[in-house]
Amino acid sequence: MDGTHTMSSTNARPYRQWTQAGLDDRSIDRTDAADILNGNAIDTLSLVHAAGEVRRGFFGNTVTIHVLDNVRNGACPEDCGYCGQSRDSDAPIQPYKLKSVDAIVDDARRAQESGAYRFCMAISGRGPGEREIEHMCDAISRIKAMGLRTCLSAGLLDDDKARQLRDAGLDRLNHNLNTSRRHYPEICTTHTYDDRVDTLRAAKDAGLGVCSGLIVGMNETYEDLLDVAYALRAVRAESIPVNFLLPIEGNRVNNPTSGGRPLDPQFVLRVLCMMRLVNPTAEIRIAAGREAHLRSLQPLGLYPANSLFMEGYLLTEGQAAGDTLRMILDAGFTPAFDNPAEAPESLRRLIEGHANGSLPHATPTDTAGAPEMRATLKVSVAKKA
């Protein structure tokens, strides 16, 4: 697949051993993980197969679909260089206040009807106050009553706020480590890496599931990527979103490179495989940048990863729902549901049509081809002309 990364008889990688380690819930050695990132004598398809066997061992051939709702946009006092909502960003976004509980619940209902397994909500800012926690607890309890799983990203949290969210029915708290402890001051100075670790500890102590991931492409070294991969293993993050930096005009960090090189589809695949082999039992989610950086290799990403976002990200557009669902089915995977009979009727028709060969003709969308390196802001967050 990549002529520069072929496997020879004298320098064969222990793919079977990596698979067995994963199935035993053991991380591969850091040296092997580094070789994967560097592409040292790595045959891409052999690597994808090895990671895919681990993925299938724990998750079968299902894909959990997440839909992300930006419930408050912009006006953030933090200086995270990768984020268009940061105080230092000149990204052309339109800030808006916290959505009403009814509006959040309506968004959740639409996500459920489109085939979402989990509804993820994100609030801009350093961390929520008491009134905001009460507001979100109301929304979470109503969404849970619909039978939809929930995740919330709300910035820094203490023990008491984490317990309130748990009592309201929140399943998971998202708070990404984003990068290594060493590299963190290069991307943010208004809070620390340890502040993020403390929030994850509060979530775990409260009994919440921990969703924490990283952003690849912030001019980090491969050692930084390994540091955060093994740190997520240490905290036993049950869900790991793997983002690949999308360059948004006006952000301080907007040149996607890792290890001194631009991101490319084969490297992105190797990152996903490394994350699976270091965190065998975690839900590995292909998050922002899937379309732009994997490009035509998107379906292969579902072999190491068992989850993705649908219908865009926090600020940027993504592949349309219909195209995403067809990609999942065409690759031989199935959208995850606790009870498949409860899947939305439109999705059941799509799955049945795929099974009997009578899929309706797919109309290409603007994002179906995922133009390389294009970050298009969502209409809902873009500054009005």
Catalytic residue among 72, 83, 196, 290: 83
CB 140 within 8 A of CB 165: yes
What amino acid is encoded at 64 in this protein?
T
Catalytic residue among 13, 76, 172, 196: 76
The pair of three-digit structure tokens given for residue 147, joined into one six-digit string? 């039978």
Catalytic residue among 120, 137, 188, 273: 120
- DSSP type of residue 296: G
Per the annotation, the verdict on 273 as an active-site residue is no
Catalytic residue among 151, 196, 273, 290: 151
Task: For the chain, list the strands marked E by DSSP.
Answer: 62-72, 118-123, 149-153, 172-174, 209-211, 214-216, 218-220, 239-244, 257-258, 261-262, 283-286, 307-309, 334-335
> What is the Cβ-side half-sphere exposure of residue 100, based on CA atoms within 13 angstroms?
3
Question: Which residue, 144, 164, 75, 156, is CA-closest to 104?
Answer: 144
Which CA distances in Å does 224 have to 27, 166, 216, 220, 259?
17, 32, 10, 6, 9
Question: Which residue, 298, 303, 305, is CA-closest to 332?
Answer: 303
Which CA distances in Å does 254 have to 182, 370, 375?
20, 18, 10
- What's the angle, vertex CA 20, arms to CA 17 and CA 26, rounded to 5? 100
Catalytic residue among 55, 118, 196, 211: 211
The pair of three-digit structure tokens given for residue 384, joined into one six-digit string? 């009005």
Per the annotation, the verdict on 188 as an active-site residue is no
Going by their DSSP bridges, the two strands 283-286 and 307-309 should be labelled as parallel
Catalytic residue among 142, 276, 285, 290: 285
Which CA distances in Å does 177 have to 183, 192, 225?
11, 10, 11
Q: Which residue has the tokens 């557009």?
A: 317
Catalytic residue among 55, 80, 276, 290: 80
The pair of three-digit structure tokens given for residue 311, joined into one six-digit string? 């219908």
Per the annotation, the verdict on 211 as an active-site residue is yes
For the annotated catalytic residues, the residue numbers are 76, 80, 83, 120, 151, 211, 285
